[in-house]
Amino acid sequence: METAPAQPVAATDPLPARPRRVLVTGCTGSGKSTLAIAVARRLGVPYVELDALFHGPGWVPRAEFVDDVTAFAATDAWVSEWQYSAVRELLLARADLLVWLDLSRWQVARQLVPRTVRRRLRRVELWNGNVEPPLWTVLTDRDHLWRWGWRTFPRTGERVDRVLSAPDPPVVVRLRPRRVDRAWLDAPLAAVAGG
């Protein structure tokens, strides 16, 4: 007999235990890193930014990426984003909490477009000397961040559905809409974090 998939926990539901290894997932531009930093601070554990491990100078993927992720994933406590197919399963196997930023396309676009414009105009260094490409490349580069985000938007929900359908998934918290993030950090997460 096939069992029904697990259901995500709502933003107001208590967490069953204090998480030690937390992944934050969402589509491109949903605020994964921002929330992951806040979760790490609340829990008092290290935050590891996957983009910083993945992108080498000139946006070339770093050869050490998988080894670096393997090393931090083996530690006892951390918070990171759940992205990059080369390490997604490795991270999920170690995580005890998956936080899902389930925003609408329009919510994400309202965050991603201004963020990208601001970073480009200010020439903000992102990782290893990289900056956002010229804005006009949205017209010429199929994988420009805006186009990539729009095209790949449904994938996160599909991945989370697969996690929930798997045997013994981690606890999954679904945060939707964006304004519930702070309430979740200040109530259910704070309750298990001891503060």
Per-residue confidence (pLDDT) for residue 164, from 0 to 100: 95
- For residue 195, what pLDDT is reported? 54
CB 27, CB 160: distance < 8 Å: no
Q: Is the pTM here over 0.85, yes or no?
A: yes
Backbone angles phi, psi at 32, to 5 degrees: -55, -50
Burial tier of 97 (Cβ tally within 10 Å: 0-12, 13-18, 19+): buried
Report yes or no: 183 and 138 within 8 Å, Cβ to Cβ: no
Token readout for 32 is 């994964």
The gap from C-alpha 134 to its chain's centroid, in whole angstroms, comes to 25
Instruction: Name the nearest CA neighbour of 57 among 4, 107, 156, 131.
Output: 131
What residues of the chain score a pLDDT lower than 70? 1-3, 144, 178, 195
The whole-number pLDDT of residue 2 equals: 63
Four-residue CA torsion sign, 39, 32, 55, 164: positive
Beta strands in 12-152 (DSSP E): 21-26, 47-48, 78-81, 97-101
Inter-CA distances, 31 with 27, 51, 100, Å: 9, 13, 10
